[in-house]
């Protein structure tokens, strides 16, 4: 998110954020999180769109509608290739 700053945040909040992101506060290092394939080549806002199976067409239309607002939605049935490890791609999107 551009323009977002934690400069005025409390140490408690910063430590909570670091813990959530699995960042070692002593070294500033942590796990490397890679985006799912659907988000690799975009700078748009990224949104995970969760849905039940019967609503997959609605979720896909919602994804398409958001594109005009520079929002790239992730819809599992649409964005995961059948040959990909679906569980890993969903975890990356979350």
* Own/partner pairs, 66-74, CB within 8 angstroms, 24+ separation: 70/44, 70/45, 71/44, 71/45, 71/46, 71/47, 72/38, 72/39, 72/42, 72/44, 72/45, 72/46, 72/47, 73/47, 73/48, 73/49, 74/36, 74/38, 74/39, 74/46, 74/47, 74/48, 74/49
**Tens of pLDDT, residue by residue, the chain (94 residues):** 455 666 787 878 877 777 777 776 666 666 656 678 778 888 899 899 998 889 999 999 999 999 999 999 999 888 877 666 777 777 778 8
CB proximity list for 85: less than 8 A, separation 6 or greater:
none
What pTM was computed for the model? 0.55
- pLDDT in the model for residue 88: 78
- pLDDT in the model for residue 38: 79
> Can you tell me the distance from the alpha carbon of 71 to that of 53, in angstroms, rounded to the nearest whole number?
22
- pLDDT in the model for residue 94: 81
């Amino acid at each position: 998110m551009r323009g977002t700053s934690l400069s005025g945040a409390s140490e408690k909040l910063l430590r909570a954020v670091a813990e959530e992101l699995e960042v070692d506060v002593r070294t500033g290092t942590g796990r490397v999180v890679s985006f799912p394939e659907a988000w690799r080549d975009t700078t748009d806002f990224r949104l995970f769109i969760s849905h039940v199976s019967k609503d997959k067409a609605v979720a896909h239309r919602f994804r398409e509608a958001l594109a005009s607002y520079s929002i790239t939605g992730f819809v599992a049935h649409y964005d995961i290739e059948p040959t990909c490890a679906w569980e890993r791609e969903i975890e990356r999107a979350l």
